[in-house]
Amino acid sequence: MSTILETDQDQMLFPWISKKKAEVIKSQNLKQSDLINLGIGDVCHPLPECIIKALHKGIDKMGKEAIGYGPEQGRLDLRSKISTVIYENRFSEDEIFITEGIANSLSILMSIFKEGSTIGVLSPTYPVYKSLLSTCGMSIVEIPADQELNFSPPNQKLDGMIICSPNNPTGKAFSKNQLEAWVQWAKQNNTLILFDGAYEAFIQDPKFPRSIYEIKEAQECCIEIRSFSKSIGFTGLRLGYFVFPKTLKWKGFSLAQCKNLISAKTNGVSYLIQEGGLAALSVEGLRASKQLTNSYMEMTEKLKDHLISSGETVIGGDHAPYLFWHVGGSSKEKFLHYLESRLLVTVPGVGFGMEGFLRLSGFINEDILNKALKCLSLDINVTK
């Protein structure tokens, strides 16, 4: 087993997982659907009816009239809807930028920083940040979690900092006090915070901020980045947005410069997908999103309860559909053990920057949950 791990050490995590899954399917003569997938956090329900209707309506309109390039910053009606529905008009449509999702927003926003800038990332966190930062020539500074997997600002100055709350993979949300400390630190050190709210819709307790702008003075040092991916199943459609407040004070970079940046980087997001975004923010869409997020959180809670009642140590899962399961030892070896002997797909913690854990995704349906509970009931501690 160690040779397999060593030869694969330099590979990116998700391609490595796909390769290992394919090997097990081949060697055990299985179908893809035989695997119990608690791995990559992708949605597993079809799009809600109101989104489908909106997409059909949009395509019919495009068949009747010429709809060409839209504004690079995104459709005004969608920005206006985001301003009202999400931010209660605290930010104008001028300060909102539509993108193809968080990955796209981040890659656009990287151009704000000079090459070689120091950018902090939490550890453990979403591995794509580090890949993006290194391809953009940034200098990455990892900010380690404490014993409880919480994060405090470092004692150093950074040009930028990516914070994700609720965090992937720990599934933990930052408290108001924690975020206040980060905002004060950013202001004192002239650091620009890029706040990734991919999982904000899953926050269960209103005491935990959903938006960084619930924190005083955050509009001076934070760009909030959001997505329709996880909240309403747009991972395959691709839609998101970020807020660049006009009050932001960071090295003189202004809202006007941000507009220039977006014009240079994109010709805008597809008209049709933005039609879907408008439907997602309608009363029906918001209701559908609540149903989806509740269902994923219910799956996560059942998985967590099961593991905890089996005596396992599990973190997270309260405000995001991710569990960080403490298995000890090499997470890639534990991953292979569960994959090969139980057909259970997880994600090794090391891929997020932390050994000894497996991440389990609650983006599953009842059928997958039942299979997972059954296989997790077998001698759980076998590899400890």
DSSP-derived 3-state class of residue 121: strand
Other C-beta atoms closer than 10 Å to the C-beta of 175 total 15
Question: Candidates 99-107, 110-118, 209-217, 347-355 — which segment interacts with ligand PLP by CB under 6 A?
Answer: 99-107
Min dist CB 130 to ligand PLP, Å, is: 12
- Which is closer to ligand PLP, CB of 79 or CB of 337? 79
DSSP-derived 3-state class of residue 123: strand
DSSP-derived 3-state class of residue 146: coil
List the interface residues with ligand PLP, window 257-296 (CB under 6 A): none
Identify the CA nearest to 276 among candidates 98, 55, 68, 59.
Answer: 55
Interior angle at CA 236, CA 335 and CA 285, nearest 5: 115
Is 243 a binding residue for ligand PLP by CB under 6 A? The answer is no
Residue number of the CB closest to ligand PLP reads 101
Give the separation between CA 137 and CA 156, rounded to whole angstroms. Answer: 20
- Which is closer to ligand PLP, CB of 337 or CB of 348? 348
Min dist CB 149 to ligand PLP, Å, is: 15
Single-letter residue type at 243: V
* Total number of residues that touch ligand PLP (CB under 6 A): 13
Tell how strand 347-348 and strand 357-361 pair up: antiparallel
- Which one among 24, 103, 212, 288 touches ligand PLP, defined by CB under 6 A? 103
Min dist CB 228 to ligand PLP, Å, is: 7
- Which one among 38, 47, 50, 102 touches ligand PLP, defined by CB under 6 A? 102
- Which is closer to ligand PLP, CB of 95 or CB of 196? 196
Is 192 a binding residue for ligand PLP by CB under 6 A? The answer is no
Tokens standing for 109?
A: 């926003």
- Which is closer to ligand PLP, CB of 24 or CB of 315? 315
- Which is closer to ligand PLP, CB of 48 or CB of 197? 197
List the interface residues with ligand PLP, window 127-186 (CB under 6 A): 164, 168
Is 109 a binding residue for ligand PLP by CB under 6 A? The answer is no
Identify the CA nearest to 157 among candidates 192, 132, 133.
Answer: 192
Give the separation between CA 155 and CA 338, rounded to whole angstroms. Answer: 39
Min dist CB 147 to ligand PLP, Å, is: 22
Identify the CA nearest to 211 among candidates 304, 88, 294.
Answer: 88
Query: How long, in residues, is the chain?
Result: 384
Residue ranges in contact with ligand PLP by CB under 6 A: 41, 101-103, 126, 164, 168, 196, 198, 227, 229, 235, 240
